[in-house]
Amino acid sequence: MKRLFLIISLLPMLAAAQSGTVHTLKYGDMDTWVTRKIQESAIIGHGVKTLYEIGPETTVEGAKAYTNLGGSPWATSNVYARVAGINKTNTSVFREERPGHGSCARLETRIEKVKVLGVVDISVLAAGSLFLGDMKEPITGTKDAEKNLNWGIPFTKRPSAVVYDYKLKIMPDKNRVKMTGFGKKQSVPGQDCAVTVLYLQKRTEHPDGSITAERVGTMVKKYKASTNGWVNGAKYEILYGDITGNPAYDASTMGLRSDDYARNSKGQSVKVTETGWADASATPTHIILQFSSSHGGAYIGTPGNTMWVDNVGLVY
Percent of the chain with pLDDT over 70: 91
For residue 205, the model assigns a pLDDT of 98
For residue 7, the model assigns a pLDDT of 37
Q: How far apart are CA 184 and CA 199, in angstroms?
A: 35
Determine contact, residues 179/125, Cβ cutoff 8 Å.
Answer: yes
Q: What length is written for the chain? A: 316
- Give, for 251, the enclosing helix (H) or strand (E): helix 251-254
For residue 117, the model assigns a pLDDT of 62
Task: Tell me: pLDDT of 144 over 90.
Answer: no
DSSP 180: B
Q: CB neighbours (10 Å) of residue 115?
A: 12
Region of poorest pLDDT, from 77-81, 138-142, 269-273 = 138-142
For the stretch 115-136, pLDDT in tens is 666 655 678 899 999 999 999 9
Distances (CA, A) of 302 to 25, 44, 129, 134: 30, 25, 14, 25
Question: Which pTM was predicted?
Answer: 0.90
For the stretch 194-229, pLDDT in tens is 999 999 999 999 999 999 999 999 999 999 999 999
Chain-centroid distance, C-alpha 21? 23
Residues facing 48 on adjacent strands: 39
User: What is the mean predicted confidence (pLDDT) over 289-316?
Assistant: 95
**Domains within the chain, CATH numbers bracketed:** 22-315 (2.60.120)
Determine contact, residues 135/149, Cβ cutoff 8 Å.
Answer: yes
Which has the closest alpha carbon to 296: 259, 252, 249, 248?
A: 252
For residue 120, the model assigns a pLDDT of 54
Confidence of residue 6 (pLDDT cuts 50, 70, 90): very low
Q: CB neighbours (10 Å) of residue 185?
A: 11
For residue 1, the model assigns a pLDDT of 43
More confident residue, 202 or 83: 202
Question: Which range is most confident: 107-111, 140-144, 145-149?
Answer: 107-111
Residue type, 26: K
Confidence of residue 15 (pLDDT cuts 50, 70, 90): very low
Burial 30-67 (b: 16+ CB within 10 A, else e): bbbbbebebebbeebeeeebebbbbbeeeeeeebeebe
More confident residue, 114 or 272: 272
Q: CB neighbours (10 Å) of residue 117?
A: 9
